[in-house]
Chain A
């Protein structure tokens, strides 16, 4: 428990403290404002997805693009088992047991999906693996689209929700949804921290940097990768369950390529390899997405996202959250170079002198 609450630096503590404060303030805004409440739900879902995705792409260094496939597939299963149907018969009220059952079931679906995604990592690497995950997501979509019991083109509606019928679109309802969303993000942060800062994260990072060395020192690379995929996908599946429980419905638009693109932009802009990056990137790009979604011309939304994606990758080494340390390192290098008056700067101040290389 103590490990969860230790921060790496004062900067980190400030950041998370700030997030907590922001969350408390947001609660009051959401209370009154239906539109903002909608934004918050999307933020909660996206930030949670990105936190789990960050474990796979950032910590493990595996470029999986099956994220939306997991969330969408689980969402569909969740919607169906909680009574959703194509015609959308309106179930009277949310039976809370039902929602909990949905969350557990979707987590299980996610875990199973995760095992399928993980399997090829035994042999496939890099872009080959990425392509496989794209294919897997496409297969999921195609499979779902064909099933009549899953609503085909209309999708499913009338699924169980967090809010009972009388609470929907009320202030109290919005407050409940706010805290459910907050709980989801917090849960994902905890999972992220437990994996990334824990032993599994260490094993994954070692395998990421140098797989041969990792195997040589006895790291079971395959098992570690299976573990991270199953854990992150289980949570992703559960997020799919949250999706249906928020909206009471799901359709094929959940598999939209543009959504995947937006999510990818979020984690890249934020910075691969940290929870802060996931939160910051999601917040920034969602803000832009929502701001420009209101205007008549939807094209501007993607143009701005493209501009930010482009600018951040050109200018920063590790995304926005890496910027402070990048600037510090740059200043340090300029100073060191100035003092020594050298043509080329030495990368590290301390030099190990090792003869025989």
Chain B
């Protein structure tokens, strides 16, 4: 049962990051490797809010989300906009985002020091029982929050004008231009929202891990794996993929060894993609037809 809780928590975190990566990549063709530093920055933002404003959970979450959104805006202005359309821009923007990530992560190292910072338990310490297993409030709180946020993202994508613009962009960039969807404006929206999502998931993850500078890489890698497995641009595919990837992680840690997690997860991707190159989204499409 603990495995299940861990799985769902990880799935929530990975899924939120993966949605950001998926939309950025499908919509803009930009593989954002700076989401790692966005993650780290949001953790520090949440911690700073806790220390200097208030330790109310909403404030802490907001600290993470706002800093994440700002980081996304910085990435848009510093990396995407200057390079979009230039020769080799897809490789260059990927590498530039990596460089920005290095600068950011190690600046935090300098400013805040290598010690870990603790973020309070946000959901209180109440426990309750389901089927004989104790579930703490923090784990279930994380799941509930993540579900709400994901639902908000989906609602935003489906009902708002900007949401339609983003979805259109992920389907056909030329068609999007023809109907008046501006790439630069869409990029800003996509990167800010991805940043906010990464920020939110960072705070969720802080309930399990302490904030420290190097925490950025692994979630990024996992987010990438989930995004690819889910099928770029498909939210539903990404959510399902997040669950699969997180389950694989929990099972591997339990039955084999932590060091093999990446291997099993990539084996999972390999198997699914060999069968359906479009990932989980491809499986969904096949069953719909």
Contacts and interface: CB of A to CB of B under 8 A. Distances in A.
Touch test A–B (CB under 8 Å): yes
Interface of A: 120, 123-124, 127-128, 131-132, 134-135, 138-139, 141-142, 145-146, 257, 261, 264-265, 268, 272, 297, 299-300, 302-303, 305-311, 313-314, 317-318
B101 interface: yes
B36 to A, nearest CB: 11
Contacts of A302: 102, 105-106
B99 A307 contact: yes
Contacts of A145: 259
A249 to B, nearest CB: 21
A128 B99 contact: no
Contacts of A135: 262-263, 265-267, 270
A139 B107 contact: no
Interface string B249-269: 000000001011011011101
Contacts of B100: 306, 310
A131 B82 contact: no
B225 interface: yes
B92 interface: yes
Nearest to B93: A313
Interface in B268-283: 269-270, 273-274
Given A302-B106, A313-B96, A257 B217 contact: yes
Given A123-B274, A309-B96, A314-B92, A303 B103 contact: yes
B95 A305 contact: no
Contacts of A314: 79, 82-83, 92, 96
Nearest to B100: A310
A299 B106 contact: yes
A310 B221 contact: no
B110 A299 contact: yes
Contacts of A313: 83, 92-93, 95-96, 99
Given A264-B98, A306-B102, 5 more contacts: A305-B102, A308-B99, A313-B83, A314-B96, A317-B88
B87 interface: yes
Nearest to A145: B259
A140 to B, nearest CB: 10
Contacts of B106: 299-300, 302-303, 306
B78 to A, nearest CB: 8
Contact of A310 (B88, B99, B225, B269): B99
B31 A132 contact: no
A335 B248 CA distance: 59
Contacts of B93: 313
Top 4 A-B residue pairs of the complex, sorted by shortest distance between their CB atoms: A306-B102, A135-B266, A309-B99, A310-B99
Contacts of B265: 135
Given A131-B224, A314-B82, A297 B269 contact: no
24 contacts: A131-B224, A134-B221, A135-B262, A138-B262, A138-B263, A139-B260, A141-B259, A265-B99, A272-B91, A299-B107, A302-B105, A303-B106, A303-B107, A306-B98, A306-B102, A306-B104, A307-B99, A307-B103, A309-B98, A309-B99, A311-B99, A313-B92, A313-B96, A314-B83
B103 A139 contact: no
A339 to B, nearest CB: 23
B228 interface: yes
Given A127-B228, A142-B259, A317-B88, A134 B99 contact: no
B31 A131 contact: no
A98 B35 CA distance: 47
Nearest to A302: B106
A145 B256 CA distance: 13
